[in-house]
Structure 1
Amino acid sequence: MSAPTLDTLIIGAGTAGLAALREVRKRSARFLLVNEGPWGTTCARVGCMPSKALIEAANALHRRHQLQDLGLRGGDALEADIPAVLQRIRDLRDDFVAGALRATDALPSHQRVAGRATLLGPNAVDIDGTVHATRSIIVATGSRPKVPEEWLAFGDRILTTDTLFEQPTLGPRVAVIGMGPLGVEISQALARLGLEVAAFTTAPELAGLSDTQVNGALVAALKKEMVLHTGAAAELREVAGGIEVRSGPNRVVVDQVVAALGRVPNTEGLGLETLGLPLDAHGLPEVNPQTLQIGDLPVFLAGDANAQTPLLHEAADEGHIAGMNALAGSPGAFRRRTPLSIVFSDPQVAQVGKRLAELEPGRTVTGTVDFKDQGRARAALHHHGRLHLAADASTARLLGAEMCAPHGEHLAHLLALAIQQGLTVHDLLGMPFYHPTYEEGLRTALRDAARQLPSAPESDLASCASIGVAALE
């Protein structure tokens, strides 16, 4: 083979691939970006953004049930125009995709190609019959929805996030199978738009939660809006009038089924076996999470394709790391951000830092708040949900939190910042809390934790010395 003509070859133009591209372009013009299928990120096309547009419409309509309690009349006349809701989502989606495409449309043809890439080893890639020699390779091929093969017989009545928003209309009877983050979001949104929703999951924990009480708060909230079955696996069969879904003794007939069983990496047929390293049961090699490097090869596996943390902000970080390391003489190890995941249900679900179920009870203290009595939440009729946070019993440093809480996305960000900065329960209690805000609920949980710590201060107030302010004479 001739000497490499490329410094790096990027496979995939999703979030991770585009982030890698930004780093590579700063360092070299000798690169090639190849993408198979639609251009534009999963988030913009079928993931984060379309689903949030659906949730916004659903939550706006659901608010009609509370208008009477707020002294507002006429809300019962509101209804969802499902085709119009879906069309608005597609219009918004197209705008988001157009923004993502601007990053690649301007590339000249020798730096951008559509096609199927197959690895021939750590320094060569075949693209539709043409072999490209390269010093390094960045694999960022993303993921796709998981659908059992036997379900394919039901045709377009089996929906995923790749197809849900393309439908001209929905329902009126829908089953959602799988209640991870995606299943929770979609099932609640469809129920709030007026569809009859039955949700099924084998696990008792929903949305990735590990804390039993927080999970219980979420389950209670969802059961008010839909039928929820946990335990036995769901089985599908054709019946008169639709698709029958059975789970243990439970049975429902629906018009469509949303498969929310997670996503699988797009690595089949990619040629990872040509790298000469062991592959796991899913056909993936071991990847260093700090460098994104596969073994000691000049090959980097980033984003959903490595199946480590399939979240957009993590994929972007990994793309940047892979882009820098692919052109570095020696790959650098990067400290990853504090784990943060958010589910946009109502109440919102979030996990920050370490999972609570994995912490040792004897070495931690747990602070809790129930939002049923929280002032701002009561005023807004959003008074439901729980937040649990954990701190090290000896140092008081915050370790992690799980919540099913109103406006949890903002509480989670505060806690993620605090954990990444190594703050203690007392440090955070010394920060300002405005009244009346949902953040006061976080303060309640912090105070609960502080009471269990051996060095609890007598007041939330920080001293002048601790906040860096000189005491007055």
Structure 2
Amino acid sequence: MQERFVDIAIIGAGTSGLNAMSQARKAGKTFVLINGGEPGTTCARVGCMPSKAMIQVAEDYHRRTHLGRYGIDGHEGLSLDLPEALEHVQDMRDTFVDRVLGSSTDDMPEDLFLQDYARFLEPTLLAVGEQRIRAGAVIIATGSRPLVPEPWRAFGDKLLTTDSLFELEDLPRSIAVIGLGTIGLELGQSLHRLGIQVEGFDQLETIAGLRDPEVAKTAIQVIGKEFPLHLGQPAQISEDGEQLRIQAGDHQISVDAVLCSIGRVPNLEGLGLENLGVELDARGLPPFDRHSMQVGELPVFIAGDVTAERPVLHEAGDEGRIAGFNAVRITSQAAGEAQRPLRFRRRTPLYINFCDPNICAIGQRFDALDPDQTAIGEIKMAPVGRALIMGNNRGLIRVYADKTSGQLLGAELIAPRGENLAHLLSWSIQQGMTVEQMLRMPFYHPVIEEALQGALNDLNRKLEVERDGPLTELALLS
């Protein structure tokens, strides 16, 4: 069988693969984009965008429960047509998918966009259907899929994942959400607010991946007031007539369906990674440098959710750009020799759960802090004026700094409009700002950001630093 040569072969047409392809195009390299699954990116099809559409519908409908306090009559008569709401979510999903496809693969020639599965025969030789592709460099960007234990697959369409939930024309009357990380918590709360009977289960003692025990405690109290949470025990599923029975410890219920959100696994099956000649870990992943995305010393790179490191869109985009840049670099000749990959500084870690209130983690996580060298500041949302006016003064902000330098290290929080606070914190951490420098930024009144100011003031009082001036909030003129 004849081999076809390209500079760069990209396996996967999701966010990482498309960003890698843009680097190859900019450099004028020959390439192929290979995709064996549904095109359109995980974010647009089954992730960020359809979930946010459902969250928005649920939040708007839930808002009716607050209208009576403002003297707005008739709010109790508002009703929701679930099939129509789901159709709206699907329409929004289809719009986002069409936008991705329209700006990426729709108009690509068949010889550049191969809609088939790839398998490594050698580090730079791929079998793609009946073709053989020899490449100067290969990028693995195959994404991930929902983790579903094999025994649970026997429950058929009563066992939902994000791959199937957004295809439903109507919702079951009762759902057990197993796994209360980002996906399970966001969708569990939304389903509850859409009028579905929901109970949440997780074998961990925390939710939303929180590691700060105080923030986790607050989050469990806040979310647990909306729908029951059962933590610290693994959930078992069995058939119960037309329903499914869920048992966790001493608690058991019967429901019409289960939303399985216990995690995602890398799409590695059939890739032939054993033919790369490197040792694979327990998950089947090869060793790679997260700053260059290079696999060992091979002309192979890996990027996006398949790495199982930072499964969020902006990180997948960064990894795709890094992998693409370095694939271009090693296939370019300088003075007759291939150039080595460059290593890039990664962005400050930033995780946002869009439940209400938002749950966010920024920078260094609580369990990675040096307790002897770290100061912690906090503020409860209860007395924050703007949050009180909004009728959403629930939550807690905790911020961490180096005790002697005052440099901000990280934060965890549950707060209304936390998504905005999280960005301010991540930008400040990435700039290497100190607590004092942050406090010298403008804070308007009354805004949610005043809660962050309060947490920073509490943190500032606990630092062992030399002050830059007589007033923390203002700098002296030189």
Query: Which residue of the partner structure matches residue 90 of structure 2?
Result: 90
Aligned AA for 1:84? Answer: E
- After superposition, the C-alpha distances for 1:45-69 in whole angstroms (9 at most, x for unaligned) are 0000000000001111111111112
Answer yes or no: is 1:142 the counterpart of 2:152.
no
* Structure 1 counterpart of 2:411, one-letter code: A
CA distance in 2, matches of 1:80, 1:51: 18
Q: What is aligned with 1:219?
A: 220
Q: Secondary structure at the match of 2:397?
A: strand
**For 1:95 and 1:124, how far apart are their aligned partners in 2?**
36
Is 1:451 matched with 2:452? Answer: no
* 1:300-449 aligned within 5 A: 300-328=301-329, 329-449=339-459
TM-superposition CA deviations, 1:363-402 (whole Å, max 9, x none): 0111101000100000110100001000000110000000
Per the alignment, residue 461 of structure 1 pairs with 473
Q: Deviations over 1:376-429 (max 9, x none)?
A: 000110100001000000110000000011100000000000000000000000
Match in the other structure for 1:205: 206
Local SS of the residue matching 1:110: coil
The alignment's TM-score, normalised by the length of structure 1, stands at 0.96
How much does 1:464 deviate? 4.5
Alpha-carbon distance in 2 for matches of 1:377, 1:459: 28
Distance 1:79 1:192 in 2: 12
Instruction: Give the Å deviation of 1:2.
Output: 8.0
Distance in 1 of aligned mates of 2:370 and 2:324:
38
- Distance in 2 of aligned mates of 1:3 and 1:119: 14
Does 2:200 match 1:188?
no
Report the Cα distance in structure 1 between the residues aligned to 2:204 and 2:325, rounded to whole angstroms. Answer: 40
Q: Residues 235 and 246 of structure 2 are in contact (CA less than 8 Å); yes or no, is this contact kept in structure 1?
A: yes
> What TM-score does the superposition give when structure 2 sets the normalisation length?
0.95
- Write the letter of the residue equivalent to 1:108: P
Tell me the residue number matched to 2:163: 162
1:458 Cα deviation after fit = 4.7
Bigger mean CA deviation after superposition, 441-450 or 215-224: 215-224
The CA distance in 2 between the partners of 1:70 and 1:407, in whole Å, is 21
User: Which residue is 2:230 aligned to?
Assistant: 229
Aligned-pair CA distance for 1:434: 0.6
Q: Deviations over 1:289-346 (max 9, x none)?
A: 0000000100001001111111111000000000000010221100000000100011
Relative to structure 1, the CA distance from residue 264 to residue 38 in structure 2 (aligned partners, 3 Å threshold; closer, same or farther) is same
Structure 2 unmatched ranges of 5 or more: 330-338
Task: In structure 1, give the amino acid aligned to 2:142.
Answer: T
8 Å contact 2:23–2:328 — kept in the other structure?
no
Q: Which residue of 2 aligns with 1:288?
A: 289
1:51 aligns with 2:61: no
Secondary structure of 2:382's match?
helix
8 Å contact from structure 1 (residues 7, 28) kept in 2:
no
Q: How far apart, CA to CA, are the structure 2 residues paired with 1:78 and 1:387?
A: 34
Matching of residue 21 in structure 1 with residue 31 in structure 2: no
Instruction: State the match for 1:267 in structure 2.
Output: 268
Runs of 4+ with >4 A deviation: 1-4
Residue identity in the other structure for 1:111: L
How far residue 459 of structure 1 moved from its aligned partner, in angstroms, is 2.9
Task: Tell me the equivalent position of 1:65.
Answer: 65
Identity among equivalent positions (%) equals 45
Query: 1:468 — aligned with what?
Result: none
- Say whether the 8 Å CA contact 1:178–1:259 is kept in structure 2: yes
Per-residue CA shift, 1:116-138, capped at 9, x if unaligned?
10011111000013111111100
Change (3 A) 1:3 1:237: closer
State the number of aligned residues: 466
CA distance in 2, matches of 1:111, 1:163: 30
Distance 1:313 1:69 in 2: 40
